[in-house]
Structure 1
Amino acid sequence: MDINTIIQALGGLSMFLLAMRLMTEGLTLFAGNRLKHLLGNWTSTPWRGVGVGILVTGLVQSSSAVTVATIGFVNAGILSLRQAMGVIFGTNVGTTMTAWLVSLVGFGFKIEALALPILVVGVGLRLLASSTRWKGLGDALTGFGLFFLGLDLLKEAFEGIASSFSANLGAGVSTNWAGMILIGFVATLLTQSSSAAIAIILTASAGGIIGFEGAAAAVIGANLGTTSTAALATFKATPAAKRLALSHIGFNLITGIVALCLLPLMLGLVNLLGDALDIESTPTALLALFHTLFNLLGVIIMLPLANRFASLLERLFHSAEEDIERPHYLDATLSGTPVLAVSALKQELLRLSDILVNLLRDALSGPHSIPELKRRAEAIHTLGAAIANFITGIRPDAMEHSTANELASALYAARYYQESAQLAPGLRRLAQDQVLLSGAEKTAVSTLLQQAERCLEPELSGDHLQARELVEALRNAHRDARRQLLEAAVQGNLQVVDLDTLLEGLDFSRRAIELRIKAGLLFHTSQNAEAVAIHPVSEADLTKSLNTDQYPNLP
């Protein structure tokens, strides 16, 4: 083995990796939104997710690309963790398509006869096509041609390497399962591609460097090597991405351990199937069959356990937003007992109130960014929706009239909390935009924000007089700030674009605080069941009490 052989092997591997990237990016571009539609709409069950994972990974030739897209769907709430796990399991089977390409096409005939025409068509499309979609197909075909040319270089290099080893050395290596597993693992770790590692193993097997059993152990190691990529992906990732990466790691670890324990039996089964399929004389095809079979075995083992596995993963890696949106006190089993349901509901509304107050305080001051506040506001909206669903699920035939009134008040309160949270980013924007101001207008805006902060301090106890005083002081500050901003604009001290933004921030601030106060009145009034039974509190009652008709409803 000389330096030229090593350079040829590395060059072939480099061409192979480049080809895989071109194929993945080109096919993804050519398919456009079709693959995303397939992932988002055809994965209603874990089994269908497996099928979609196999199909999409086989098409784009990259389990990593499919995994990234799947994580995006989980983060967007389009896919649940259970659905996404089915897709991830399927990608492990779909990625075996590369092994079949290498074994059946790469070693079956003269590679140049197929690769060069494909390369010509691919480059031609890339240069001449007018649409981005067809340029993507050109990239994919170019990658396909380079795939086989790189494979040809690898094959020639490994044939040269094989000639420098004795048959005894090759046999000795092939029986050392632990060593071969490590080689497969390191190959995937270095190339960051299990497909490339599998291609190296198949090429080495075809060149006679390692025997069939050793190559099978190396294939298991290459499959385990993909866990390193998944583990690296968990750093600085979202909780959903971390859970999905752990499901990938768990699948590969369990599948690898089972395949290793059953290796003699599986090799015997592969030989039987190879004889039936008339591929027993092609070691690379047998290895591709082994690769497919043990990943299918993993799906058969893991998919029935997917729900329990997902439940375990969902208890890990909580974000602040996920903790907010998950009810702490509501339980569907309470729906048949309205008294207990109302008690739990009050606890959850009190928690929602505290979360909202903290959000509004952070919006008024502190280092919190607008995107962070938006995420927390969305989490509050999700919690409010869960509260509303819980209320509508309580059996109406088992409740008294006073209980029904309490639930109506609670439903209004939850809605007000949701609406107030959605306006919190507007508060933060107004607080940040104070730097645009000076003089009287800056003082007026600062006074409004201070009054808003004071409105968050006291705990309302159903005292409508106290609420009116707070709201009136807030509105006075709002009117004064609005007048000062308009005067500044007239005098040329404030640009019209900035004026519009600031006025919108003023309105959002006032509206957010008023909604919080109205929700607090409803919540505390609903806790007095006797008062509610005598005089139910409606939205119209609150509007009249706080005299909110003199201001238009704001978004």
Structure 2
Amino acid sequence: MDINTIIQALGGLSMFLLAMRLMTEGLTLFAGNRLKHLLGNWTSTPWRGVGVGILVTGLVQSSSAVTVATIGFVNAGILSLRQAMGVIFGTNVGTTMTAWLVSLVGFGFKIEALALPILVVGVGLRLMASSTRWKGLGDALTGFGLFFLGLDLLKEAFEGIASSFSANLGAGVSTNWAGMILIGFVATLLTQSSSAAIAIILTASAGGIIGFEGAAAAVIGANLGTTSTAALATFKATPAAKRLALSHIGFNLITGIVALCMLPLMLGLVNLLGDALDIESTPTALLALFHTLFNLLGVIIMLPLANRFASLLERLFHSAEEDIERPQYLDATLSGTPVLAVSALKQELMRLSDILVCLLRDALSGPHSIPELKRRAEAIHTLGAAIANFITGIRPDAMEHSTANELASALYAARYYQESAQLAPGLRRLAQDQVLLSGAEKVAVSTLLEQAERCLEPELSGDHLQARERVEALRNAHRDARRQLLEAAVRGNLQLVDLETMLEGLDFSRRAIELGIKAGLLFHTSQNSEAVAIHPVSEADLNKTLNTDQYPNVPQASDDK
């Protein structure tokens, strides 16, 4: 074995990895939102999730890309952990498509005759296509051509390596299952691609370097090696991503252990199936069959346990944001009984109100950073959306007007809470930027923040008169702070950039507090109102109650007619 053979092997591997990336990114770009639609809408059950995982992974030739997309859907609440686990299990089967491509096409045809025309078409399409979508298809075809050219280089290199070793050495390596598992694991770890590791194993087996049993053990090791990617992905990831990564690790570990314990039996089954299916008795085709079989075995073992496994994982990696965004009182079974649903809804809205008040207080004077406040604000937004979904799901049959009135008011209140939370980071930014001020402008901003703090006191809830007094004091402080900041900028004591930021912070702060008060007044008014209108306390009425004056460039809650 000389240096040229090593360079050829490394060059073939590099071309193979580049090809896989081009195929994945190109096919994903060409498919566009179709893949997202498939993942988001065709995974209602774990079994369907497995089917979608197999199909999408087979199309884009990357289990990692499908896994990342699936994690995104879990974080967005589109997929539950159980649905996503079905997709992840399916990706392990779908990724075996690479082994079939290598075995049936890479070793069954003259590679250059197949790869070069595909490469020409792909590059031509990439250069001449006007739309991004068709350029993506050109990239995919280019990757497909490079896939086979890289495979050809690997095959020739391993044939050269095989000629440098004696048959006894090859047999000795092949019978060392532990060593072959380690080789497969390390190959995946180094390339960060189980497909590349499988291609290396198959070409090495075809070249006679390792025997069939040793190659099968190495394939198990390559599957185990994909857990390293999932483990690395858990660092600084969201709790949902960590749980999904753990489900991937658990699937591969259990599948690998079972396959290793049953290796002689599975190899015998592979030979029988190979004869029955009239698969050419080359080690590559049989190894591809083995790879598919033991991943299917993993699905058969793990899918019935998916619910229990998901329940176990859901106890791990809890975050404060997840506790916030998960409703505690709402139950879908109450939707058929509006009176009970309204009672649960009131408790959930009171909880949401308390969470928002804590957020605004922390924004005013707490130790939390702006990114932390943004995460909590997003959690409040998610809880508000869950409340809205619950309200719209309540059956209107035989619903009294007063109940409909309360539901509509609760929907408005949830919206105001959501919008107030989104403005909280701006309130925090203003509180931090006080250090840039001095003199009268600093006193004015501090007074505004003190008035905002007073508006969050618990005795204000539901008291229209006190609310009007507190909001009027807040607005007076707001006007004074604006005037002082503008005068400071005219005197040259405040940079124009800082002035713009602080004026925005002033407006956001006032609006955040007002929206919270509006939501509280609306919620309490709806509980005490006997009116039969669908929306007894409109935003216009609330504005009249609070005597709301509007400022430009301040986010406002739009009127819903």
Fold conserved (TM > 0.5)? yes
Question: 1:400/1:106 Cα in 2 relative to 1: closer, same or farther (>3 Å)?
Answer: closer
- Partner of 1:263 in structure 2? 263
8 Å contact from structure 1 (residues 50, 90) kept in 2: yes
- Partner of 2:237 in structure 1? 237
Q: After superposition, give the CA deviation of every residue in 1:441-476 in whole Å (9 maximum; x if it has no partner).
A: 554333212211233345447555544442332222
Deviation at 1:271, TM superposition (A): 1.4
Q: How many equivalent residue pairs?
A: 555
Question: 1:293/1:533 Cα in 2 relative to 1: closer, same or farther (>3 Å)?
Answer: closer
- Partner of 1:9 in structure 2? 9
- Partner of 1:18 in structure 2? 18
Question: 1:534/1:277 Cα in 2 relative to 1: closer, same or farther (>3 Å)?
Answer: closer
- For structure 1, which segment, 344-353 or 167-176, has the greater mean C-alpha deviation from structure 2 after superposition? 344-353
Deviation at 1:284, TM superposition (A): 0.7
Give the match's secondary structure for 2:460.
Answer: coil
How well do the aligned residues superpose, as a CA RMSD in angstroms?
Answer: 4.2
8 Å contact from structure 1 (residues 336, 395) kept in 2: yes
Deviation at 1:249, TM superposition (A): 1.0
- For structure 1, which segment, 368-377 or 288-297, has the greater mean C-alpha deviation from structure 2 after superposition? 368-377
Question: 1:547/1:295 Cα in 2 relative to 1: closer, same or farther (>3 Å)?
Answer: same
In 1: Cα distance, 2:480 partner to 2:553 partner:
19
Deviation at 1:148, TM superposition (A): 1.9
In 2: Cα distance, 1:545 partner to 1:490 partner:
36
- For structure 1, which segment, 477-486 or 307-316, has the greater mean C-alpha deviation from structure 2 after superposition? 477-486
Q: After superposition, give the CA deviation of every residue in 1:150-202 in whole Å (9 maximum; x if it has no partner).
A: 22222222223323333333333333322222221121112211111111111
8 Å contact from structure 2 (residues 55, 94) kept in 1: yes
8 Å contact from structure 2 (residues 408, 535) kept in 1: no
In 2: Cα distance, 1:121 partner to 1:522 partner:
64
Question: 1:271/1:546 Cα in 2 relative to 1: closer, same or farther (>3 Å)?
Answer: same
Q: After superposition, give the CA deviation of every residue in 1:19-66 in whole Å (9 maximum; x if it has no partner).
A: 222222233333333333333333333333222222222222211122
Give the match's secondary structure for 1:492.
Answer: coil
Question: 1:98/1:545 Cα in 2 relative to 1: closer, same or farther (>3 Å)?
Answer: closer
In 2: Cα distance, 1:200 partner to 1:490 partner:
71
- For structure 1, which segment, 182-191 or 50-59, has the greater mean C-alpha deviation from structure 2 after superposition? 50-59
Give the match's secondary structure for 1:505.
Answer: helix
Deviation at 1:274, TM superposition (A): 1.0
In 2: Cα distance, 1:447 partner to 1:128 partner:
64
> TM-score under structure 1 normalisation?
0.84
8 Å contact from structure 2 (residues 185, 221) kept in 1: yes
In 1: Cα distance, 2:143 partner to 2:242 partner:
31
Question: 1:330/1:19 Cα in 2 relative to 1: closer, same or farther (>3 Å)?
Answer: closer
Question: 1:268/1:434 Cα in 2 relative to 1: closer, same or farther (>3 Å)?
Answer: same
- For structure 1, which segment, 238-247 or 528-537, has the greater mean C-alpha deviation from structure 2 after superposition? 528-537
- For structure 1, which segment, 354-363 or 167-176, has the greater mean C-alpha deviation from structure 2 after superposition? 167-176
8 Å contact from structure 2 (residues 405, 534) kept in 1: no
- For structure 1, which segment, 534-543 or 300-309, has the greater mean C-alpha deviation from structure 2 after superposition? 534-543
Deviation at 1:67, TM superposition (A): 1.5
8 Å contact from structure 1 (residues 460, 520) kept in 2: no
Q: After superposition, give the CA deviation of every residue in 1:352-385 in whole Å (9 maximum; x if it has no partner).
A: 3332122112323456555543332232133244
Deviation at 1:291, TM superposition (A): 0.8
In 2: Cα distance, 1:330 partner to 1:549 partner:
36
Question: 1:273/1:505 Cα in 2 relative to 1: closer, same or farther (>3 Å)?
Answer: same
In 1: Cα distance, 2:120 partner to 2:400 partner:
79
8 Å contact from structure 1 (residues 405, 536) kept in 2: yes
Q: After superposition, give the CA deviation of every residue in 1:210-249 in whole Å (9 maximum; x if it has no partner).
A: 2222211211111111001110111111222112211111
- For structure 1, which segment, 459-468 or 235-244, has the greater mean C-alpha deviation from structure 2 after superposition? 459-468
8 Å contact from structure 1 (residues 403, 529) kept in 2: no
In 2: Cα distance, 1:106 partner to 1:388 partner:
55
Question: 1:208/1:536 Cα in 2 relative to 1: closer, same or farther (>3 Å)?
Answer: closer
In 1: Cα distance, 2:164 partner to 2:342 partner:
80
Deviation at 1:136, TM superposition (A): 3.1
Question: 1:311/1:413 Cα in 2 relative to 1: closer, same or farther (>3 Å)?
Answer: same
8 Å contact from structure 2 (residues 452, 510) kept in 1: yes
Question: 1:17/1:386 Cα in 2 relative to 1: closer, same or farther (>3 Å)?
Answer: closer
8 Å contact from structure 1 (residues 57, 91) kept in 2: yes
Q: After superposition, give the CA deviation of every residue in 1:488-509 in whole Å (9 maximum; x if it has no partner).
A: 7889988999877655543432
In 2: Cα distance, 1:212 partner to 1:283 partner:
6
In 1: Cα distance, 2:125 partner to 2:404 partner:
68
8 Å contact from structure 2 (residues 364, 428) kept in 1: yes
8 Å contact from structure 1 (residues 461, 525) kept in 2: no
Question: 1:486/1:98 Cα in 2 relative to 1: closer, same or farther (>3 Å)?
Answer: same
In 1: Cα distance, 2:223 partner to 2:154 partner:
20
8 Å contact from structure 2 (residues 16, 150) kept in 1: yes
In 1: Cα distance, 2:125 partner to 2:391 partner:
59
Q: After superposition, give the CA deviation of every residue in 1:277-301 in whole Å (9 maximum; x if it has no partner).
A: 2224222101101111111222222
Deviation at 1:321, TM superposition (A): 1.7
8 Å contact from structure 1 (residues 171, 211) kept in 2: yes
Deviation at 1:336, TM superposition (A): 9.1
In 2: Cα distance, 1:550 partner to 1:6 partner:
73
Give the match's secondary structure for 2:458.
Answer: coil
> TM-score under structure 2 normalisation?
0.83
- For structure 1, which segment, 507-516 or 535-544, has the greater mean C-alpha deviation from structure 2 after superposition? 535-544
Q: After superposition, give the CA deviation of every residue in 1:67-99 in whole Å (9 maximum; x if it has no partner).
A: 122222222333332232222222111111111
